[in-house]
Chains A and B, each alone.
Chain A
Amino acid sequence: MVRFTYRKLISWTLLAFTLLFLINGFGITKPWLVRSLTFGLLDRALSQQIHFHLWGPFLIVLVLHISYSSGIFRR
């Protein structure tokens, strides 16, 4: 059984946000590619909106990830 930890949750969330950031970035600069890869789900306008709104959650998770990894929250 995989033991649930906040550290793991934050790590996986950060990975998801990073990938989302990358995909949306390409959705802005290479809309054709991303639109076809996501079966039309992610067009340029949506990519841009997500990209512009993701920085806050991304930074928070990044700070938490660094903090957990450096052992600040270790008991």
Chain B
Amino acid sequence: MRRGRRTGQIVVILLVGAIAVLYALDLAGNRPGVTELAPAEVRDYQGEQLSSIADFRENSIRGPQYVNASTYTLTIDGQVENRKEYSYDALIERFPHYRKVVTLYCVEGWDVTILWEGVRVNDLLLEAGVKPGANTVIFYAEDGYSSSLPLTYIEDRDILLAYAMNDVTLPAERGFPFELVAEDRWGYKWVKWVTRIEVSDDENYRGYWESRGYANNGSIDRSFFDQG
């Protein structure tokens, strides 16, 4: 009886030790057999200091989505003359590439300044042909997330659908294959893992967070609760 208890105590101590070691490894970010390499990202651009890809906080609604580039399709539909579908390669090869430094401001209080590279959303809309009367562009993501922006905002600004950040292809955590660079709008407008762009005449459309109380406008010079 006494011997059995002694064995039990040893097992418990070993178990606690094993958990402590695994926990310490997890905290240190070490996994056996895996060596972390720093991504070859640029950290300054034309004299401007950039944030790192690692500076983002993961706050998506269902965690990172792992989209397969070889089966990926971006659909552009709704109030357009020609419904369009592009594969990942077709989209990148067909349209001109642009890059610019834009800061993302999250409603959680943090911000990141990144060199974004992508195609202009307006170029995609021009090819699809926007029908008269359309006033809203809705972006849908792989995980079911959505958000909308006024058509005039897309037309008047060089809004990018980014495939790279700091000269590195978007990692899955950041929205591979495409993240919307909604400059001057709060982070919840920056849709990641974009799979569909719908041109709409419903200017009252409310996306995932907008239907839960966030402002539909989403402008960073106004509160994200400001419904005006």
Please give the residue numbers on chain A whose beta carbons come within 8 Å of chain B beta carbons, in ascending order.
32, 43-45, 48, 53, 55-57, 59-60, 63-64, 67, 70-74
Complex Cα distance, B108 from A44, in Å, reads 8
B19 x A56 contact (CB < 8 A): yes
- Enumerate chain B residues within 8 angstroms of A45, measured Cβ to Cβ: 57, 59, 108, 110
A56 x B108 contact (CB < 8 A): no
The answer, among A55, A56, A73, for a CB contact under 8 Å with B9, is A73
Complex Cα distance, B15 from A55, in Å, reads 14
B108 x A60 contact (CB < 8 A): no
Complex Cα distance, B102 from A4, in Å, reads 58
A72 x B5 contact (CB < 8 A): yes
Interface check B16, CB cutoff 8 A: yes
Interface check B27, CB cutoff 8 A: yes
Which applies to chain A's interface (DSSP): helix, strand, loop or mixed? helix
User: Assuming A32-B212, A60-B20, A63-B16, what are 18 further A-B pairs, CB within 8 angstroms?
Assistant: A32-B213, A44-B108, A45-B57, A45-B108, A45-B110, A56-B22, A56-B23, A56-B24, A56-B26, A57-B23, A59-B19, A63-B12, A63-B15, A64-B12, A67-B12, A71-B5, A73-B9, A74-B5
The answer, among A43, A55, A64, A67, for a CB contact under 8 Å with B23, is A55
- Least CB distance, A22 to chain B, in whole angstroms: 19
Task: Give the residue name and chain of the A residue nearest to B57 (CB).
Answer: A45
Which applies to chain B's interface (DSSP): helix, strand, loop or mixed? helix
Complex Cα distance, B58 from A71, in Å, reads 43
Complex Cα distance, B9 from A74, in Å, reads 10
Interface check B8, CB cutoff 8 A: yes
A63 x B19 contact (CB < 8 A): yes
Task: Give the residue name and chain of the A residue nearest to B15 (CB).
Answer: A63
Complex Cα distance, B12 from A44, in Å, reads 35
Complex Cα distance, B4 from A71, in Å, reads 11
The answer, among B19, B20, B59, B212, for a CB contact under 8 Å with A44, is B59
- Least CB distance, B215 to chain A, in whole angstroms: 15
- Least CB distance, A27 to chain B, in whole angstroms: 11
- Enumerate chain A residues within 8 angstroms of B5, measured Cβ to Cβ: 71-72, 74
- Enumerate chain B residues within 8 angstroms of A55, measured Cβ to Cβ: 23
Q: List 19 A-B contacts (CB under 8 A).
A: A44-B59, A48-B57, A53-B27, A56-B20, A56-B22, A56-B23, A56-B24, A56-B26, A59-B19, A60-B20, A63-B12, A63-B15, A63-B19, A67-B8, A70-B8, A71-B5, A72-B5, A72-B8, A73-B9
